[in-house]
Chains A and B, each alone.
Chain A
């Protein structure tokens, strides 16, 4: 089964509203990365987390390794936030990260 599950798979938001994306892991993740893939296909680094929280502007992310999940909160959504959000978990004692299948976000005017 999927080792990294993202929810929801797709989401539409009105501009100016808030939302949360979630990543659940069935592996013992040690770190988590969040990316935004923009409509041109480029992957933009948003956060790289060990257990804890980070904040950057309107984005905030948390990683709870004991409960095996991570969240990405978007505050005051803007049109340019549209795209596909991926989380990726690094498993211990490997050089690999496992990607989730993504959450497709559309921000509506």
Chain B
């Protein structure tokens, strides 16, 4: 088995601030993903990465940057926090570079003051 950890669990930022969320997995999975979930809604893909140093845009990439520093870690940066950026950010990983079963971390809850 393995685990995905996300830090921090809660993130409070100011409008206009640059904020970074981190994700680590020890499954040795190839692909990692960042999703955003707004209250009461489904998940929307922000970025994904199929290997170290690879980045692919999802449906919601505008306003975000991402970095796959190594196979086990994937960071997401909110480039300029907006008042409506109150959501949960979920990180996931999957075993192969062509999708596959995804496993999720516990999430980072972002609140912008």
Chain B residues within an 8 Å CB radius of A35: 104
Is residue B16 contacting chain A, with contact meaning CB distance below 8 A? no
Q: Mark A70-109, 1 if CB is under 8 A from B, else 0.
A: 0000000000000000101010001111011110000000
Is residue A43 contacting chain B, with contact meaning CB distance below 8 A? yes
Is residue A7 contacting chain B, with contact meaning CB distance below 8 A? no
Of the residues A88, A100, A101, A102, contact of B102 by C-beta under 8 Å: A88
Is residue A31 contacting chain B, with contact meaning CB distance below 8 A? yes
The total number of A-B Cβ pairs within 8 Å is 49
Q: Is the CB of B106 within 8 A of A95?
A: no
Q: Is the CB of B106 within 8 A of A42?
A: yes
Q: Is the CB of B42 within 8 A of A41?
A: no
Taken together as a complex, chains A and B put the C-alpha atoms of A43 and B44 apart, in Å, by 14
Q: Mark A41-74, 1 if CB is under 8 A from B, else 0.
A: 1110100100000000000000000000000000
Q: Mark B88-113, 1 if CB is under 8 A from A, else 0.
A: 10100000011111111011010000
Q: Is the CB of B102 within 8 A of A95?
A: no
Q: Is the CB of A45 within 8 A of B97?
A: no
Contact-residue bracket for chain B: 20 to 34
Within 8 A of B (CB), among A1-41: 31, 33, 35, 41
Of the residues B90, B99, B100, contact of A43 by C-beta under 8 Å: B90
- Looking at chain A's contact residues, the main secondary structure is strand
Q: Is the CB of A86 within 8 A of B48?
A: no
Q: Is the CB of B56 within 8 A of A97?
A: no
Q: Taking A95-B48, A95-B56, A96-B58 as contacts, is the C-beta distance between A101 and B41 under 8 angstroms?
A: yes
Q: 12 A-B contacts, Cβ less than 8 Å apart?
A: A31-B100, A41-B107, A41-B109, A43-B90, A45-B103, A45-B104, A95-B50, A95-B99, A96-B58, A96-B99, A99-B43, A102-B42
Given A35-B104, A42-B107, A43-B104, 16 additional A-B pairs, CB 8 A: A31-B100, A31-B101, A41-B109, A45-B102, A45-B104, A88-B102, A90-B99, A95-B31, A95-B97, A95-B98, A95-B99, A96-B99, A97-B99, A99-B43, A99-B44, A101-B41
